[in-house]
Structure 1
């Protein structure tokens, strides 16, 4: 068994036992490693210490439960392994900048630490061959765009370390931008009613930040006042298509794993260079949507 498989066994075990006491010694035994080497290997592969990872996954589950159920906050805290209302509130506020009561009263999108699929760091697939892993199907292909496409939307800048999927928790600034765009979308002249939507991460002139565009397909490159445009230039693209069980997992989990696989595994191992932007392309943000794509443009 590869080292990453041993760690993945414990990641899976943790996910199924978030309400239980989870001891380093017991997890190390599952991985067939010494406690010292287990903690060292876990931190290297998961990018978080074991106990910190457990806390973040408990917070992720609890934050979902706060919105999806009417259970008392104390009961939710106990369901996810917190010893008291006080310890849960302290951990929640440290991670997200608000208390569980404030979050339940005024829900916002949150960046949670996703459960990793470590095989995405090591398994290489050929083009047009699907890779199936827990809850996700990924397939990579090439596409030649013969004419430019235009999009109208809004932009924001965010600190690089706060980028979703980067490991930090907090309020999901990009989700708020999408909510704002969708609130205005029907009134924007030039947007095609049934056109695709895209989110684009690209460089920023502001040090330590990146820029993000959220918008929808337009019938021309004319840009209404108060909005910005994005031109998808003609050329050759690598397209990473992926599916998840539902829309929430698609945009809050699968998209980050697809990015990680494409940029940290697939492209480097194929020695391909791309332009400095990444495009997330959706048919729509409808809750029934379970597929999306990440596009990158090849540098010839």
Structure 2
């Protein structure tokens, strides 16, 4: 796994935390100097400027919605005071948070969007196992993405993490990423979610999704979660063309078991591909 890709995953997964260069370098497995130089060279932007821009861009998006007051938002995104947040926000966007909230127009500022993690060279796949699941009810956060630029997914998982284990009716500790509603233009919906027994008392900001009974080919994703697109690509390009089963028009699932470590991005990841039969 490319260490720059690990850095991108860590930044998006901790965009609300006060992370520093040393934190990112440690997860990436290289020295701060090497990471800083390589990131700037390959991505065209200094690493910590990107970190700061992503954090403030996500804060700006939240300011356009009814939500926490500016001080609470400042604390949530890693600033110790209203003044520190205002200073950083003005340096980034040339407008204060108060002025921006009054206008509420994201088109008036230059947001720093998530850089999409590139697919790695296609990995070797172990033969899948096949499972048929009964109907399931999922509850979580849903966002809309372009297939070519799904860089915001780690940030979506970060937003959903506070709900894990705290949703009424949750069945078990397993978390899921559900890819569905693919259209001809290459857009899709992605839900970070858990299975529930019912959705009668879920928080109003969450959505529910009913999955029908479906047969799946189940693959183990090896290595870091930032490389999951490469495993999807290997399934689509190398396995499906010669498989004795046909793909079904149903959601793809990412399954994150209890072995998955959200701090390291390793362990316990499965990809579930719907098939006919």
**TM > 0.5 fold call:** yes
Is 2:267 aligned against 1:290?
A: yes
Preserved contact between residue 157 and residue 204 of structure 1 (Cα < 8 Å): no
- Counterpart in the other structure of 1:215: 193
Counterparts of 2:247 and 2:183 in 1: how far apart (Å)? 22
- Counterpart in the other structure of 2:169: 190
- Counterpart in the other structure of 2:100: none
Please show how residues 125-204 of structure 1 align to structure 2 within 5 Å: 131=125, 138-145=126-133, 147-163=134-150, 172-192=151-171, 194-204=172-182
Query: Normalised by the size of structure 2, how large is the TM-score?
Result: 0.59
Q: How many residues align?
A: 199
Offset of 1:141 from its aligned partner? 1.3
Is 2:223 aligned against 1:236?
A: no
Preserved contact between residue 247 and residue 273 of structure 2 (Cα < 8 Å): no
Preserved contact between residue 275 and residue 296 of structure 1 (Cα < 8 Å): no
Return 5+ residue gaps in structure 1 as ranges.
1-14, 16-56, 81-87, 121-130, 132-137, 164-171
Return 5+ residue gaps in structure 2 as ranges.
11-19, 56-113
- Counterpart in the other structure of 1:28: none
**CA RMSD of superposed structures (Å):** 3.5
Please show how residues 1-300 of structure 1 align to structure 2 within 5 Å: 59-60=4-5, 66=21, 67-68=24-25, 73=33, 76-77=35-36, 80=38, 89=40, 91-93=42-44, 99-105=46-52, 111-117=116-122, 120=124, 131=125, 138-145=126-133, 147-163=134-150, 172-192=151-171, 194-204=172-182, 207-222=185-200, 224=202, 225-244=204-223, 249=224, 251-253=225-227, 255-270=228-243, 272-284=246-258, 285-287=260-262, 290-300=267-277
Offset of 1:292 from its aligned partner? 1.7
Counterparts of 1:266 and 1:299 in 2: how far apart (Å)? 15
**Structure 1 SS opposite 2:222:** strand
Counterparts of 2:6 and 2:254 in 1: how far apart (Å)? 25
Offset of 1:203 from its aligned partner? 1.9
